[in-house]
Amino acid sequence: MPGTEATGTPRPPGGRHPAEAHHALVAHEVVLLLETDAERGLSGPEAARRLERFGPNLLPPATGGSLLRRILGQFHHPLIYVLLVAGAVTAALGEYVDSTVILAVVLVNALIGFVQESKAEAALEGLRAMVRTTATVVRGGREHTVPSAELVPGDLVVVEAGDKVPADVRLVRVAELRVDESALTGESDPVTKDEVVLHPGTPVADRRNMTHSGTLVTAGRGAGVVVATGPETELGAIHRLVGSAETLATPLTAKLAAFSRILTVVILALAAVTFAIGLARGEEAVRMFTAAVALAVGAIPEGLPAAVTITLAIGVVRMARRRAVIRRLPAVETLGGTTVICSDKTGTLTENQMTVRTLWTPDGTAYQVTGSGYDPSGTLRDADGTAVTADASHALRWCLLAGAACNDAVLTRAGGRWELRGDPTEGAMLVVAGKAGLRADEVAERLPRTDTIAFSSERRYMATLHDDAASGASAVLAKGATERVVGLCAGQMAADGGTRPLDRAAVLAAAERLAAEGLRVLATAARPAAEPAAFSERELPGTLVLTGLQAMLDPPRPAATAAVGACHDAGITVKMITGDHAATASAVAGRIGLLTGPRPGEGEVLTGTELAALSAREYPAAVDRARVLARVSPEQKLGLVRALQERGQVVAMTGDGVNDAPALRQADIGVAMGRGGTEVAKDAADMVLTDDDFATIEAAVEEGRGVFDNLTKFVVWTLPTNMGEGLVILVAVLLGSTLPILPTQILWINMTTAVALGLMLAFEPKERGIMNRPPRDPARPLLTRALVLRVLLVSALLIAGSWWVFGWERDAGASLAEARTAAVNLFVSVEVLYLFSCRSLTRPAWRLGLFGNRWVIGGVLTQALGQLALTYLPTMNHLFHTAPISARTWLHILGVALLAALVIAVDKRLRPAPG
Ligand code: ATP
């Protein structure tokens, strides 16, 4: 619980203090107050004690309001109001049986709606846990990666570019730290942070010495003390205020809800007209009133928005099972319509398991390297096949040293296995140095690092400044993309360690040759006796000596080729957008079938430089044509997405860095990597791949198509049902004849079939060949003309069928109750047969196999039991004015229903209507 005032007076260990106060204290006061250590952080046992005491660093799950509110929300529907009024009126008129039935129906409907909605929400809520958020925390003097939920007040956390701030933190050290606080303050420009003490009255948005939970680090690095976790954070306060439940709305649900609203108004007007006509005819007011209510209840597709949400939620769960976590529900819809997938290469199309295969030194020697994985056992062999070590030549030694010391990765051996913490490219360079006899710890000891120019996708190189223990001087080491490193060099190192003039053409040609084999090539450079003062990005160019090339293998992911092929069959173009070299990228692209041929065709490979040189007019067409876009900077990705969208494409784009966020937001489907991606990218994305695998995107598209099919199937099934129910009454009143189906019976049909039959379509498995048809045009309406006609046809069949059976039974001397029971059973029978037809929009029902969707079978059996109860149970007979019918009548009903099914099948055959 919050303490009193944060004035520095002793507190209970780890006591929490009002967040308002921490920004007004000097950093070390905060450290004292929270009984922690600005260098070593908390001890492990103390952190565990505090976790016990303060609870996990989590926000309470968003539920969209209290239970009562959510239950009441189920009654907030025009249809329910109509029913409640109808119930009241019938009760006032003494028709207690009818009013009880109406009320029971209202209650059951609300209950089912509530349960379904809760299930859909729970499914979505559960997904959040699948995308693990972690934080870097210093405990007992060592950095650890822990789940963000385990942070406690007093923890010393480290945040850097790409991280999501895991709790409210008072900063104690910052290095060019910039934070996007829009989640909290709405201000989209990143804020620069520092550690200075602020006035106590400073509002949250201006507290520069704090970072708050949920905000995103866009640049730099910082360390600070956690002052509040979970619900105590500023984000927690906002969360409490607005109860930020994930909305279940998507463009489609919104459109359907709008459609239902208009339909409701039209139907209510129609019901009023029916009532008026009946009265004018001199019919009894009560009878006409209930008829009008039945018309309204029957015709309004009230289950539609809920069913759509449920179908989407089921789709989301299916996608999650295939390791694609949907962060925004509309993505499920859009995925099915994807026409272009722009994918990273490294880690998505390839394994991102780098192994250096070849080392090249400027004297022209190529060394082959054996061994694989992160185990540094393997050998370097020179051109004659002789095993060599780093001592073979000075250039080789400095090439390996640059790779190993200008490096942030750490290799550890745990349980006999070598594990890497850091970037696989850097891991590979540590491993090859090890194979040549240079151990990372010895290198670090000989060349302690004093300064760094960090790697970034824009800079494409990394450089470090070291004290050289051997010579007593300083040394600069660098590694990175060949053309960038060559730009830093004036000379190249000879085998004896001397400097020769740089043979730029020879170096670039060697790099090109290695890249053409699909190897990722990094150049290395050094300056053994450097001036520390000149170590800056501006002064570095032209001061280094090229020491060699390291070429590494990164095998394509096993599933990538098949997934790219599946995308092509599905009419989806796959583009590789990579920071890597064009030759490497093209070779990998050729191997996984991403190009039209084994070698790139005209215009199929474009580099970032070529892109930048294109005119605005040429740009979109060139981008559309290109299959491989190499040496592309994250900034260029945004332009790529826009250009493709201008050409009418629906674009899925992957990204993992901070700078990818704008492109991810712009894309129709932004895809972030769950393992390798930054929190910033995940935050901007619509979908997160928990395995970083390209094949998962393809799987998600497939599921997306399935979801859209199922939505269409549900709509195509439900609309005729509603129209049929409403029109049966309307026609009867207009013709002035006896109602073939009574209002309470309409209620029965409506409520039972929607749940037992219609909803089961949401579980329909994907259709065969779903990835062999072209992507759905986003502009195409949900129901094509052919489907609208089918809806009208089935409505007509339902009405005609029920009138036919009703009339026939009456003519054969059946009572009104018996004839109506027959009409109700006919209605439901046709719905059942139509349900089987709707399992596929194109293929005939009998081709689908009876057990393809067990839910449908279960639903039909439940409905059948319900119909038997309605027909033969005396209580039901009393409540719903039904009566037992004979076997002969059943035969009659089934005969008519089969005839209707036959007409539907013929229509499907003549006008197949894919979704
Ligand atoms: P993708 O965009 O497909 O993931 P990528 O991983 O190759 O491709 P970047 O990480 O932006 O893209 O790398 C671009 C280039 O920068 C690489 O081709 C390589 O030459 C160089 N590079 C990559 N990692 C490092 C690093 N840790 N240090 C120095 N240079 C690097």
Q: What are the tens digits of pLDDT across the range 416-441?
A: 888 888 899 999 999 999 999 999 88
Indicate whether residue 580 lines ligand 1 (CB < 6 A).
yes
Q: What is the largest CA-CA distance in the chain?
A: 115
**Of residues 351, 390, 346, 348, the one with CA closest to residue 367:** 390
Indicate whether residue 426 lines ligand 1 (CB < 6 A).
yes
Task: Please give the domain boundaries of the chain with CATH numbers for all domains.
Answer: 2-61+126-237 (2.70.150.10), 251-300+703-910 (1.20.1110.10), 321-350+558-699 (3.40.50.1000), 355-553 (3.40.1110.10)
Predicted confidence (pLDDT) at residue 841 exceeds the cutoff of 50: yes
Q: Of residues 657 and 605, which shows the higher confidence score?
A: 605
Ligand 1, pocket-test mutation among 455, 459, 479, most atoms within 8 A of CB: 455
Confidence (pLDDT) at 14: 40
In ligand 1, which atom is closest to the CA atom of 580? 18
Q: What average pLDDT score do residues 60-65 get?
A: 59
CA of 784 to the centre of ligand 1 (A): 47
Q: Give the C-alpha separation, 224 to 207, whole Å.
A: 14
Compute and round to an integer the Cα radius of gyration of the chain. 35
Q: What average pLDDT score do residues 220-247 get?
A: 76
Confidence (pLDDT) at 13: 40
pLDDT cut 70: percent of the chain above it:
93
Q: Give the C-alpha separation, 148 to 134, whole Å.
A: 5
Q: To which H or E segment does residue 670 belong?
A: strand 669-673
Three-point CA angle 218, 185, 201, nearest 5°: 110
Q: Give the C-alpha separation, 407 to 426, whole Å.
A: 6
Average pLDDT, the chain: 87
Q: What residue owns the CA closest to ligand 1's atom 30?
A: 480
> How is residue 42 annotated by DSSP?
B
Q: Of residues 338 and 847, which shows the higher confidence score?
A: 338
**CB-based burial label for 662 (10 Å; 0-12, 13-18, 19+):** middle
Indicate whether residue 809 lines ligand 1 (CB < 6 A).
no
Q: What average pLDDT score do residues 431-458 get?
A: 91
Q: Give the C-alpha separation, 776 to 706, whole Å.
A: 12
Residue tagged 């989640």 (tokens): 183
Confidence (pLDDT) at 3: 36
In ligand 1, which atom is closest to the CA atom of 406? 28
Q: What residue owns the CA closest to ligand 1's atom 16?
A: 460
Q: What average pLDDT score do residues 504-530 get?
A: 94
Q: What residue owns the CA closest to ligand 1's atom 7?
A: 580
Q: Of residues 355 and 206, which shows the higher confidence score?
A: 355
How far does Cα 894 stand from its chain's mean position?
A: 46
User: Cβ(422)–Cβ(552) under 8 Å?
Assistant: no
Q: Of residues 841 and 604, which shows the higher confidence score?
A: 604
Predicted confidence (pLDDT) at residue 779 exceeds the cutoff of 90: no
pLDDT cut 90: percent of the chain above it:
47
Residues 6+ apart with CB under 8 A from 388: 367, 380, 381, 382, 396, 436
In ligand 1, which atom is closest to the CA atom of 579? 12
Confidence (pLDDT) at 697: 95
Confidence (pLDDT) at 914: 56
Confidence (pLDDT) at 87: 83
Indicate whether residue 479 lines ligand 1 (CB < 6 A).
yes
Q: What residue owns the CA closest to ligand 1's atom 25?
A: 480
CA of 456 to the centre of ligand 1 (A): 8
Confidence (pLDDT) at 334: 86
User: Cβ(223)–Cβ(50) under 8 Å?
Assistant: no
Confidence (pLDDT) at 48: 94
Indicate whether residue 349 lines ligand 1 (CB < 6 A).
no
CA of 226 to the centre of ligand 1 (A): 34
CB atoms within 10 A of CB 238: 16
User: Cβ(819)–Cβ(810) under 8 Å?
Assistant: yes
**Of residues 454, 448, 374, 386, the one with CA closest to residue 410:** 374
Residue tagged 């069913």 (tokens): 307
The per-residue pLDDT for range 553-571, each reduced to its tens digit, is 999 999 999 999 999 999 9
Confidence (pLDDT) at 240: 66
Indicate whether residue 755 lines ligand 1 (CB < 6 A).
no
Confidence (pLDDT) at 195: 84
In this predicted structure, which of 218-222, 245-249, 448-452 has the lowest mean pLDDT? 245-249
| Identity of the residue numbered 391 | D
Indicate whether residue 480 lines ligand 1 (CB < 6 A).
yes
The neighbouring-strand residues paired with 169 are 211, 226
Q: What average pLDDT score do residues 236-249 get?
A: 58
Q: What residue owns the CA closest to ligand 1's atom 14?
A: 579
CA of 494 to the centre of ligand 1 (A): 27
Encoded tokens for 1: 């619980």
**Of residues 584, 612, 637, the one with CA closest to residue 340:** 637
Q: Could you write out the DSSP letters of every residue in 763-798?
A: GPPPPTTGGGSPPPPTTS-SS-HHHHHHHHHHHHHH
Q: What average pLDDT score do residues 83-93 get?
A: 83
Predicted confidence (pLDDT) at residue 544 exceeds the cutoff of 70: yes
The contacts found for 816-819 with CB under 8 angstroms, 24 or more apart, are: 816/738, 817/877, 817/881, 817/882, 817/883, 818/883, 818/884, 818/885, 818/889, 819/740
Indicate whether residue 352 lines ligand 1 (CB < 6 A).
no
Q: Give the C-alpha separation, 685 to 653, whole Å.
A: 9
Taking each helix axis as running N to C, give the angle between helix 251-280 and helix 78-92, from 0 to 180 degrees, rounded to the nearest 10: 30
Indicate whether residue 659 lines ligand 1 (CB < 6 A).
no
How distant, in Å, are the alpha carbons of 405, 575, 596, 606 from that of 590?
34, 12, 8, 15
Residues 6+ apart with CB under 8 A from 728: 298, 739, 740, 741, 746, 798, 799, 802, 803, 827
The confidence band for 250, taking pLDDT boundaries of 50, 70 and 90, is: low
- 489-493 and 544-553 as β-strands: parallel, antiparallel, unpaired? parallel
Q: Give the C-alpha separation, 94 to 98, whole Å.
A: 9
Q: Of residues 526 and 184, which shows the higher confidence score?
A: 526
The per-residue pLDDT for range 723-769, each reduced to its tens digit, is 898 888 888 888 888 889 988 898 889 888 888 898 889 889 888 88
Predicted confidence (pLDDT) at residue 660 exceeds the cutoff of 50: yes
Indicate whether residue 406 lines ligand 1 (CB < 6 A).
no
With the C-alpha atoms ordered 707, 711, 716, 722, is the resulting torsion angle positive or negative? positive
Q: Rounded to a whole number, what is the distance in angstroms from the first to the last CA of the chain?
A: 56
The per-residue pLDDT for range 462-497, each reduced to its tens digit, is 999 999 888 888 999 999 999 999 999 999 999 999
With the C-alpha atoms ordered 219, 221, 227, 228, is the resulting torsion angle positive or negative? positive
Q: What residue owns the CA closest to ligand 1's atom 19?
A: 481
Q: What residue owns the CA closest to ligand 1's atom 5?
A: 579
Residues 6+ apart with CB under 8 A from 686: 326, 327, 328, 330, 331, 334, 664, 667, 669, 670, 671
Q: What residue owns the CA closest to ligand 1's atom 20?
A: 481
Q: Of residues 699 and 413, which shows the higher confidence score?
A: 699
User: Cβ(578)–Cβ(346) under 8 Å?
Assistant: yes
Predicted confidence (pLDDT) at residue 2 exceeds the cutoff of 50: no
Predicted confidence (pLDDT) at residue 518 exceeds the cutoff of 80: yes
The confidence band for 244, taking pLDDT boundaries of 50, 70 and 90, is: very low
CA of 516 to the centre of ligand 1 (A): 17
Confidence (pLDDT) at 687: 93
Confidence (pLDDT) at 373: 85
Encoded tokens for 370: 């054996």
Ligand 1, pocket-test mutation among 410, 522, 553, 694, most atoms within 8 A of CB: 522
Indicate whether residue 710 lines ligand 1 (CB < 6 A).
no
Q: Give the C-alpha separation, 508 to 510, whole Å.
A: 5
In this predicted structure, which of 292-301, 460-469, 651-660 has the lowest mean pLDDT? 292-301
Confidence (pLDDT) at 898: 95
**Of residues 64, 68, 35, the one with CA closest to residue 49:** 35
CA of 367 to the centre of ligand 1 (A): 22
Ligand 1, pocket-test mutation among 452, 459, 460, most atoms within 8 A of CB: 460
**HSE toward the beta carbon, residue 502, CA cutoff 13 A:** 20
Highest mean pLDDT among 5-9, 93-97, 539-543, 573-577: 573-577
Q: What residue owns the CA closest to ligand 1's atom 9?
A: 579
Predicted confidence (pLDDT) at residue 91 exceeds the cutoff of 90: no
Indicate whether residue 481 lines ligand 1 (CB < 6 A).
yes
In ligand 1, which atom is closest to the CA atom of 480? 30
CA of 209 to the centre of ligand 1 (A): 33
The whole model's pTM is what? 0.81
**Of residues 491, 600, 589, the one with CA closest to residue 543:** 491
Highest mean pLDDT among 305-314, 349-358, 679-688: 349-358
Indicate whether residue 455 lines ligand 1 (CB < 6 A).
yes
Q: Give the C-alpha separation, 219 to 403, whole Å.
A: 25
The per-residue pLDDT for range 192-217, each reduced to its tens digit, is 998 888 888 888 888 889 999 888 88
Indicate whether residue 367 lines ligand 1 (CB < 6 A).
no
Confidence (pLDDT) at 422: 85
| Identity of the residue numbered 7 | T
CA of 826 to the centre of ligand 1 (A): 67
Indicate whether residue 344 lines ligand 1 (CB < 6 A).
yes
The per-residue pLDDT for range 793-834, each reduced to its tens digit, is 999 999 999 999 999 999 999 999 999 999 999 999 999 999
Confidence (pLDDT) at 780: 76
Q: Give the C-alpha separation, 640 to 651, whole Å.
A: 10
Three-point CA angle 221, 222, 223, nearest 5°: 140
The confidence band for 93, taking pLDDT boundaries of 50, 70 and 90, is: confident
Q: Give the C-alpha separation, 674 to 691, whole Å.
A: 7
Q: To which H or E segment does residue 377 belong?
A: none
Ligand 1, pocket-test mutation among 341, 346, 350, 425, most atoms within 8 A of CB: 425
Confidence (pLDDT) at 248: 53
In ligand 1, which atom is closest to the CA atom of 482? 20
In this predicted structure, which of 30-44, 234-248, 697-711 has the lowest mean pLDDT? 234-248
CA of 580 to the centre of ligand 1 (A): 6
CA of 636 to the centre of ligand 1 (A): 16
CA of 614 to the centre of ligand 1 (A): 24
CA of 534 to the centre of ligand 1 (A): 25
Catalytically active residues are: 344
Confidence (pLDDT) at 130: 64
Q: What average pLDDT score do residues 170-196 get?
A: 85
In ligand 1, which atom is closest to the CA atom of 656? 4
The per-residue pLDDT for range 368-393, each reduced to its tens digit, is 999 988 888 899 999 899 999 999 99
Confidence (pLDDT) at 491: 95
User: Cβ(226)–Cβ(183) under 8 Å?
Assistant: no
